[in-house]
Amino acid sequence: MAMRTLDDCFQDELRDVLSAEKQLVRALPKMAKGVASEELRQALLDHLEETEGQVERLEQAFESLDKSPRSKKCVAMEGLIEEGSHVLEEEAEDDVKDAMIIAAAQKVEHYEIATYGTLCTWAEMLGHTDALALLKENLAQEKAADEKLTKLAESINLAATT
Amino acid sequence: MAMRTLDDCFQDELRDVLSAEKQLVRALPKMAKGVASEELRQALLDHLEETEGQVERLEQAFESLDKSPRSKKCVAMEGLIEEGSHVLEEEAEDDVKDAMIIAAAQKVEHYEIATYGTLCTWAEMLGHTDALALLKENLAQEKAADEKLTKLAESINLAATT
């Protein structure tokens, strides 16, 4: 086995997050369909659109490195999405189910925040300035999506306790 | 199947994070043993001590609800830890391996930040004030641990590119 460099790790992580985002593009419509709150549904659909843009940005990042965009199955995201899918099958009041969906979605967001955080640090160290700019944009969107969910959770959880 | 309430979700999530923290208590010594940077090793060992305290706080949170502390296998954490274990077996320069360990550890931290974030919101909504105080303490520790790793990553990643 060849000795791995930081550049190898960077490309691996890029493939991991490309897989994660593609999985999300498939999962978000089902999530959006399963929630009761109109506001939450809209937030999930808005994030679907953002996620599609993130996939494009990741493909551009690969191009900036003269690599073809390949994904490598992200098992962690698979597990997180499965957790969210189970919630949709639970027997619960609408508000309670929505609160659980938000909790699952925030775990997804934080997985991505951690991954993009690492990718940005590595891109900077490796001097991949074009990729860095693209990854920073994705990171900022994930952080904003997480904050939006936190705000939504406040009203939905309040409804779930009454 | 009984209709689930927000309190049911809260207790479920508490069992999930208790499992996650207990898994970490077992995993961190192996991680610490496998890294090259003395500073990183110490950070992981410090976090091991914190994690043991977090398990105790979670047990106290259960007691404050008059529930016995039971854990429910957290599959997501199992996957994240497995990812970290694979890194230990990789062929790479010490600095590169350390950079990968930090990346894996930050995914773990972010999983916990998301979970404690949800638990704090729910504890507040449900009026579980004693549990809330304990959970807030754990959340603050996870955030601090993540920031410490980000700082360590800067010097270790720099070394990994040279």
What are the pLDDT digits (tens) for B110-154? 999 999 999 999 999 999 999 999 999 999 999 999 999 999 988
Contact residues on chain B for A81, CB-CB shorter than 8 A: none
Q: Do B126 and A90 touch (CB under 8 A)?
A: no
Q: A106: which chain B residues are within 8 Å (Cβ-Cβ)?
A: 114, 117-118
Query: In this predicted structure, what is the pLDDT of residue A162?
Result: 67
Alpha helices in B35-93 (DSSP H): 38-64, 75-89
Contacts of A111 in chain B (CB under 8 A): 107, 110-111
Residue-by-residue DSSP string for chain A: -PPBPHHHHHHHHHHHHHHHHHHHHHHHHHHHHH---HHHHHHHHHHHHHHHHHHHHHHHHHHHTT--------HHHHHHHHHHHHHHHS-B-HHHHHHHHHHHHHHHHHHHHHHHHHHHHHHHHHT-HHHHHHHHHHHHHHHHHHHHHHHHHHHHHHHHT-
What pLDDT shows up at residue A83? 85
Interchain pair A110, B106: CB under 8 A: no
**Is A145:A137 a contact under the CB 8 Å cutoff?**
no
Q: Which amino acid is at A138?
A: N
pLDDT band at A64 (very low <50, low <70, confident <90, very high): very high
Chain A residues touching residue B99 (CB < 8 angstroms): 6, 9, 122
Other CB atoms closer than 10 Å to residue A74's CB: what's the count? 25
Give the ipTM of the model, two decimals please.
Answer: 0.90
Say whether pLDDT at A117 is over 70. Answer: yes
pLDDT band at A159 (very low <50, low <70, confident <90, very high): confident
Contact B9 A154 (CB under 8 A): no
CA distance B97 to chain A (A): 9
CB atoms within 10 A of CB A108: 27
* C-alpha distance from B59 to closest chain A C-alpha (Å): 22
pTM of the model: 0.93
d(CA B82, CA B86): 6
Residues whose CB is less than 8 angstroms from the CB of residue A34 and which lie 6 or more positions away in sequence, other chains included: A88, A97, A101
Are A80 and B76 in contact (CB < 8 Å)? yes
Q: Is the pLDDT score of B161 beyond 80?
A: no
Q: What is the pLDDT of residues B18-56, one digit of tens each?
A: 999 999 999 999 999 999 999 999 999 999 999 999 999
Q: What is the spatial distance between Cα B78 and Cα B94, in angstroms, rounded to a whole number?
A: 25
pLDDT at B4 over 90: no
Residue-wise pLDDT tens digits, B64-110: 999 999 999 988 899 899 888 988 888 888 889 999 999 999 999 99
Q: Bigger pLDDT: B88 or A143? A: A143
Contact B79 A83 (CB under 8 A): no
